[in-house]
Amino acid sequence: MAGEPGRRPPVLDDQMRITVRPVYARGPSQPPLRHVFVYFIRIENIGGDTAQLFWRHWKIHDTLAGDQEVEGEGVVGQSPVLAPGDVHEYNSFCVLEGRSGHMEGFYHFRRDDGSVFRAPIPRFELRVPRNDGPARGPDIRA
């Protein structure tokens, strides 16, 4: 789908509610040039149609290394099918060189009738905490 010449991007749709919770991972981080952030994703089908997540597209901003875009099939090796009311949760991670950045993007879904739509992943901030307290970020919802 994405990356195919001549193909238009799928339309935006509000059928999926996406919540993101980022957390700074102190253990695997190696300051000053390697900061690991784990993000927890919850995808809830709040629409009336069953749909399968088949593609992801991320925009990642690192205050030190700059911007990059990452895309690929499914999420963490899965292409979940969500019926109305279903929830899919997973976590993944991002490594930044800088002490802060942000991520945002889209998931691409295909309904049973073959129609395709994009669900926005809300922008969320990635920041190294200033103290030794909990490193949990706020839940971000679309």
Q: How far is CA 23 from the centre of its chain?
A: 13
pLDDT of residue 4: 46
Q: Determine whether 109 is exposed, middle or buried from the number of CB atoms within 10 Å of its CB (0-12, 13-18, 19+).
A: buried
φ, ψ for residue 19 (rounded to 5)? -120, 135
Tell me the pLDDT of the chain (142 aa) as tens digits: 444 445 555 666 789 999 999 999 999 999 988 999 999 999 999 999 999 999 999 999 999 999 999 999 999 999 999 999 999 999 999 999 999 999 999 999 999 999 999 999 999 999 999 874 445 555 666 6
Domains and CATH numbers, the chain: 11-127 (2.60.40.1470)
State how beta strands 100-111 and 51-62 pair.
Answer: antiparallel
What is the rounded CA–CA span in Å between residue 82 and residue 87? 7
